[in-house]
Structure 1
């Protein structure tokens, strides 16, 4: 029988970094110029299909970036398979925001949680990044992707990277039965996806 594997993804970062805009662009292929501010936590999901035909359900937890809601993020980070740390590249304080949120993630993540740093609002900045930002991103050893929800730049690449990660628990964890089985392929063959 065919299965849908579930991957919990938590999206964290400062208020205004564009977390909700990234998710809206991915889920609905739209960009809102004045989106509502997330209050607390918002949940969405999308099923994507990899090139080998395997389906992945991405559970997307959009956290509020305001100070008063920050205490909610650690609980969601602990059980996430992927933490997307979104920074606003056009914000002069983006390095400090990156350092603060990276510390929160590292303090609360599980052994199986991987982090992707997302430099959002690429369309609002020059091509050159500050040496300090570049050095800190390099020091983290985390994957880094620059995006623009407004221009739809690298949105598909970002969520392809999330869905194509090798999650060992996929062999036995949360499944939903759909129909008859397909031949099982190795995890290395599911590196690219289509949707």
Structure 2
């Protein structure tokens, strides 16, 4: 049977940064102007085809950004291979949010967790960038990309960046065809 590499990706950031909208844009190629607020944690997955013909399963864990749910994020960050730190480029408090979430990730990430910083809502900034945010990103020394869930800008590029990370210790899972007989079993549904 074929195997698919599985990578756990946790998505963190302030409430309203566009985490759920970004995932919806990637998974469904749609944009909801007013998506439901994530309560706790939401899980989705998508299998992505890589340029070498192999596939990778992205397990996408969407965390709630509200203060009352922040205590849930560390355990998901700790066991993830990629932490996407999403912040709202149009938010005047973006630097504070970026620093807070970067500290949480740095404190709780596993030894092999890769952090990618994502400036979302680039469609709202019209070329202006907050200087303090630029400095934080530069000092963080993580990969960085700007996206727009609304227009779809750089969404595919972001998840291509995620899927193409060097993951030498991938866990694999077998593809199980539900309608295929198991080895050494009769093709009867009942015994």
Give the TM-score normalised by the residue count of structure 1: 0.88
Say if 1:11 and 1:61, in contact at 8 Å, map to a contact too. Answer: yes
Long gaps (5+) in structure 2 = 178-191
Provide the residue aligned with 2:174 in structure 1: 176
Query: How far 1:128 sits from its partner (Å)?
Result: 2.9
What residue in structure 1 maps to residue 188 of structure 2?
Answer: none
SS of equivalent residue, structure 1 residue 137: helix
Name the structure 2 match of 1:34: 34
Deviation at residue 136 of structure 1 after TM alignment: 0.8
| Structure 1 unaligned spans of 5+ | 180-195
Matched residue count:
177
Q: In structure 1, what is the equivalent of residue 121 of structure 2? A: 121
Q: Partners in 1 of 2:128 and 2:85 — Cα distance?
A: 20
Partner of 1:48: 48
Secondary structure of the structure 2 residue equivalent to 1:77: helix
Q: Note if contact 1:3-1:178 (Cα within 8 Å) is conserved in structure 2.
A: no
Q: CA deviation at 1:130?
A: 2.1
How far did residue 3 of structure 1 move? 1.2
For 1:109 and 1:5, locate their aligned partners in 2 and report how far apart those are by CA, in whole Å. 21
Q: Secondary structure at the match of 1:60?
A: strand
Q: Which runs of 4+ in 1 moved over 4 A?
A: none
Q: Is 1:7–1:58's contact at 8 Å kept on the other side of the alignment? A: yes
Per the TM alignment, residue 178 of structure 1 is displaced from its structure 2 partner at its CA by: 6.4
- Rounded to whole Å, the distance in 2 between the matches of 1:141 and 1:79 is 21
Contact 1:41 1:61 (C-alpha < 8 Å) held by counterparts: yes
Over the residues paired in the alignment, what is the CA RMSD in angstroms? 1.2
Q: CA deviation at 1:126?
A: 2.4
Structure-2 residue corresponding to 1:162: 162
Look at both structures and tell me which one has the larger radius of gyration over its CA atoms. 2
User: Partner of 2:71 in structure 1?
Assistant: 71
The alpha-carbon deviation at position 140 of structure 1 amounts to: 0.4
CA distance in 2, matches of 1:76, 1:165: 19
TM-superposed CA distance for 1:177, in Å, is 4.1
